[in-house]
């Protein structure tokens, strides 16, 4: 759990320093704690940010998770950062979903919760005047990891599923993330056991690591490492990462880029000189992200 303890202070500093992105009158209307599904008998919820000005018909799923925790504070962090201001002022509708926390869910379960959120957004797209075929997903740190995982796991739905939502596709048209973990098989030179112990229940429901074989560890870590399972139909990806990040090494993004380019996929890495985890402020990069996504989502 050491890595999670390291990540939590980094997430905590997203508040006051990000106020440059805030506005006195925000360009959105916010619906709070809308239920999009349930897991382990617990409701899964999201907030919806709808533009008060002209809408562009484009939807963005924002994975609100830091250190694989998704309390309401993560949405407040993104709001203080100016993410919803920037996106909604450009006409995007943003669905900020909370996929659960590592204290209750494994990484695999959180990935499935994100995919459930994508299906829910598709099922309700007409209600929000959003084009279901032009959805993007964003996230930062653990949220960026889960966003990438949702993209590599996307499918065309399960036609024979009993649940109508399960029949819907989870395909996304673009992905944009900040400083994401992308592979747990190669984390700063640590061996598999060391990485697994730091994150515990992210990989195993019981959180127990020491009695697992090296092959069991390898399979578990690879299963939620987006770099290890890049599909040939991966959508375009934009990654922002600071070259002074003390929490998630820049190498994590560089390895994802290399894996995608090896398969001829579209990916771009923008490195922030001196950028940490995070850097302050980030409104310039959030604006660049919105511009990039608008271009990709409008492309045929």
Here the CATH number for the domain that contains residue 162 is 3.40.50.1820
pLDDT of residue 169: 97
- Structure token digits, residue 66: 């830091």
Q: Kindly state whether residue 16 falls inside one of the protein's structural domains.
A: yes
Q: Kindly state whether residue 153 falls inside one of the protein's structural domains.
A: yes
Helix (H, G, I), strand (E, B) or coil at 115: helix
**pTM for this model (two decimals):** 0.93
Q: Kindly state whether residue 129 falls inside one of the protein's structural domains.
A: yes
The domain in which residue 229 lies consists of 2-183+225-298
The vertex-150 CA angle with 93 and 154, nearest 5°, equals 100
What tens-digit pLDDT sequence spans the chain (300 residues)? 445 444 544 443 343 334 444 457 899 999 999 999 999 889 999 999 999 999 999 999 999 999 999 999 999 999 999 999 999 999 999 999 999 999 999 999 999 999 999 999 999 999 999 999 999 999 999 999 999 999 999 999 999 999 999 999 999 999 999 999 999 999 988 889 899 998 989 999 988 899 899 999 999 999 999 999 999 999 999 999 999 999 999 999 999 999 999 999 999 999 999 999 999 999 999 999 999 999 999 997
Q: What radius of gyration do the chain's Cα atoms show?
A: 18
Helix (H, G, I), strand (E, B) or coil at 97: strand
Q: Kindly state whether residue 42 falls inside one of the protein's structural domains.
A: yes
Measure the CA–CA gap between 230 and 225, rounded to whole angstroms.
9
Q: Kindly state whether residue 268 falls inside one of the protein's structural domains.
A: yes
Q: Kindly state whether residue 143 falls inside one of the protein's structural domains.
A: yes
Q: Kindly state whether residue 220 falls inside one of the protein's structural domains.
A: no
Q: List, in sequence order, every beta strand (DSSP E) within the chain.
A: 28-39, 42-51, 59-63, 93-98, 135-140, 174-178, 237-242, 267-272
Number of domains composing the chain: 1
Q: Which of 51-61 are b and which e, b meaning 16 or more Cβ less than 10 Å from the residue's Cβ?
A: beeebbbbbbb
Q: Kindly state whether residue 218 falls inside one of the protein's structural domains.
A: no
pLDDT of residue 23: 52
């Amino acid at each position: 759990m050491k890595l999670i303890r390291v990540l939590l202070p980094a997430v905590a500093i997203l508040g006051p320093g990000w106020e440059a992105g805030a506005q006195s009158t925000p360009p959105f209307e916010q619906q709070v704690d809308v239920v999009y599904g349930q897991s382990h008998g617990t409701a899964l919820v999201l907030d919806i940010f709808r533009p008060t000005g002209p809408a562009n018909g484009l939807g963005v799923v924002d994975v609100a998770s830091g250190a694989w925790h998704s309390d309401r504070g993560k949405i407040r962090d993104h709001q203080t950062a100016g993410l919803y201001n920037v996106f909604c002022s450009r006409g995007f509708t943003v669905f900020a979903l909370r996929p659960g926390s590592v204290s209750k869910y494994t990484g695999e379960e959180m990935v499935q919760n994100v995919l459930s959120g994508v299906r829910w957004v598709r099922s309700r797209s007409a209600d929000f005047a959003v084009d279901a075929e032009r959805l993007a997903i964003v996230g930062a740190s653990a949220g960026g990891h889960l966003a990438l995982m949702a993209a590599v796991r996307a499918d065309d739905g399960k036609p024979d599923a009993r649940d109508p939502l399960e029949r819907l596709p989870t395909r996304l048209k673009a992905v944009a993330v900040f400083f994401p973990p992308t592979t747990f098989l190669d984390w700063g030179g640590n061996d598999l056991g060391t990485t697994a112990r730091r994150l515990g229940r992210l990989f195993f429901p019981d959180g127990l690591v020491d009695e697992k074989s090296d092959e069991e560890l390898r399979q578990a870590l690879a299963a939620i490492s987006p770099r290890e399972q890049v599909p040939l139909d991966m959508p375009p990806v934009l990654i922002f990462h600071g070259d002074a990040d003390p929490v998630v090494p820049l190498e994590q993004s560089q390895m994802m880029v290399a894996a995608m380019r090896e398969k001829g996929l579209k990916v771009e890495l923008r490195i922030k000189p001196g950028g940490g985890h995070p850097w302050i402020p980030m409104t310039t990069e959030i604006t660049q992200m919105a511009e990039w996504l608008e271009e990709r989502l409008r492309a045929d």
